[in-house]
Amino acid sequence: MKFILKKFFDLIPTLLGISLICFFLIRLIPGDPVLNLVGERGLDPVKYLEMKKTLGLDLPILEQFWIFLKKVIQGNLGTSIVSNNSVWSEFIERFPATLELGLIALIFSTIIGIPLGIYAALKRNSFFDYFLMSASLIGYSMPIFWWGLILILIFSVKLGLTPVSGRIDLLYEVPTFSGLYLIDTLQKSVLNAEGLKPFFSAVSHLVLPAIALGTIPLAVIARMTRSSMLEVLGEDYIRTAKAKGMSKKRIVYIHALRNALIPIITTLALLFGSIITGAILTETIFAWPGIGKWIVQSISSRDYPVIQGGVLIISFIIIFTNITVDLIYYILNPKMRN
């Protein structure tokens, strides 16, 4: 309990710091913030002062920050200049797309990465091991914004197997239930109207972005699994198990893998941040309507409230994911408690 409290207590300065960065984001942009918001055409002086007042920019800076914090806690992140919608509702609209892409990418990289890593560890110093380690280093060095384009070039342009962009064919109308198209397309009303076609359309749209986004995590997971397995396989209790005459399969899958999984799970959690980073690039390439594309677009349209709010939400999500993982780790691993 003490541990949990301490963890949450440690969070406060980080959260405050991030709020502070986001708060100053709008105020640090060169030029007058009001003029930045209204654009190049400018305003007459009366309206200017009025706007300054509604934005709260005439107050002392500390008071402005206090008001900003209060608003954030209430979930009020301002409104987008471009669409006039609240930043929060824009976020909620786009988040499921990123969540779906990120989850599928993580599942893809785990399902392939862990077995490859185990196999490489068992065949240490074999050709396969060297090949896999070289391939994973290449994967790790991959500029994914290029990798995505190459995937499009091969699978969409040359082979014509997958669509180039978007989440689903525009033909299909999918009522929102969870926001995840892989689930929503399996709703009864959709199945009755169109059958499985919308589902397969969603899948085919998802394949390439998920591969592009999953490549770096895949490389990291494969390497991590290998080294973690090698470490565990060298432990005394594995030797004991061997001496007892236990079958190799049982040793590997029951004894070794279980213990090797702990660092792998931690790595998975740390990859969450790199998934978000990757999503920004992947979504831009595949025109995937998620939060990454949203942020990039808001920068080119100078939609500062969206940048501010978006960065704030994303970083809070990451921080809370990390702390949840810490807690799960703490519960799973009794050694941590001492």
Partner 1 sequence: MKIFWIELYFELKKNKGSMVGLFIIGISLFISIFAPILSPHNPAEVFPNALRIPPSFLSGGQNQFFFGTDDIGRDIMSRLIYGSRISLSVGFSVVILSLITGTILGVVAGFYGGLIDRFIMRLTDLIMSLPSILFAIVIVAVLGPGISNAIFAVSVVAVPNFIRIIRAQVLFEKNRQYVQAAKLFGASNFKLMFNEILPNCMAPLIVQATLGFSDGILNCAALGFLGLGAQAPMSEWGTMLSDARSYIESSPWMVTLPGICILLTVLSFNLLGDGLRDALDPRLKKQN
Residues 6 or more apart whose CB falls under 8 angstroms from that of 236 comprise none
Closest of 102, 100, 209, 98 to residue 147, by C-alpha: 209
Q: Which of 84, 141, 192, 338 binds partner 1 (CB under 8 A)?
A: 141
Minimum CB separation of residue 47 from partner 1 in Å reads 26
Q: Which of 17, 42, 115, 234 binds partner 1 (CB under 8 A)?
A: 17
Alpha helices by DSSP H, the chain? 2-28, 33-38, 45-54, 61-73, 87-122, 127-140, 144-151, 181-184, 188-194, 197-233, 236-243, 248-250, 257-286, 291-300, 304-332
Minimum CB separation of residue 206 from partner 1 in Å reads 20
Task: Determine, following the binding rule CB under 8 A, whether residue 300 of this chain makes contact with partner 1.
Answer: yes
Q: Which of 183, 311, 325, 327 binds partner 1 (CB under 8 A)?
A: 311
Q: How many CB atoms lie within 10 A of CB 80?
A: 21
The CB-based long-range contact list for 77-80 (8 Å cut-off, 24+ gap) reads: 77/305, 77/308, 77/309, 77/312, 77/313, 78/305, 78/308, 78/309, 79/305, 80/298, 80/303, 80/305, 80/306
Sole window of 98-106, 195-203, 261-269, 317-325 interacting with partner 1 (rule: CB under 8 A): 317-325
Task: Determine, following the binding rule CB under 8 A, whether residue 329 of this chain makes contact with partner 1.
Answer: no
Confirm if 94 and 179 have CB atoms less than 8 A apart.
Answer: no
Helix (H, G, I), strand (E, B) or coil at 336: helix
Minimum CB separation of residue 185 from partner 1 in Å reads 28
Task: Determine, following the binding rule CB under 8 A, whether residue 36 of this chain makes contact with partner 1.
Answer: no
**What CA–CA distance (Å, rounded) separates 19 from 9?**
16
Residues 6 or more apart whose CB falls under 8 angstroms from that of 81 comprise 37, 301, 302, 303, 304, 305, 306
Task: Determine, following the binding rule CB under 8 A, whether residue 13 of this chain makes contact with partner 1.
Answer: yes
**What CA–CA distance (Å, rounded) separates 325 from 329?**
6
Closest of 167, 176, 169, 170 to residue 209, by C-alpha: 167
Show contacts with partner 1 in window 61-120 (CB under 8 A): none
When the beta carbons of 137 and 336 are compared against partner 1, the nearer one is 137
Task: Determine, following the binding rule CB under 8 A, whether residue 143 of this chain makes contact with partner 1.
Answer: yes
Show contacts with partner 1 in window 257-276 (CB under 8 A): 273-274, 276
Binding mask 147-186 for partner 1 (x = CB under 8 A): x-xx-xx---x-----------------------------
Task: Determine, following the binding rule CB under 8 A, whether residue 196 of this chain makes contact with partner 1.
Answer: no
Q: Which of 1, 2, 9, 30 binds partner 1 (CB under 8 A)?
A: 30
Sole window of 41-49, 51-59, 130-138, 167-175 interacting with partner 1 (rule: CB under 8 A): 130-138
Q: Which of 29, 182, 238, 262 binds partner 1 (CB under 8 A)?
A: 29
Task: Determine, following the binding rule CB under 8 A, whether residue 282 of this chain makes contact with partner 1.
Answer: no
Task: Determine, following the binding rule CB under 8 A, whether residue 135 of this chain makes contact with partner 1.
Answer: no
Q: Which of 67, 193, 299, 336 binds partner 1 (CB under 8 A)?
A: 299
List of residues contacting partner 1 (CB under 8 A): 13-14, 17-18, 21, 25, 28-30, 134, 137-138, 140-143, 145-147, 149-150, 152-153, 157, 273-274, 276-277, 280-281, 284-285, 295-296, 299-300, 304, 307, 311, 314-315, 318-319, 322
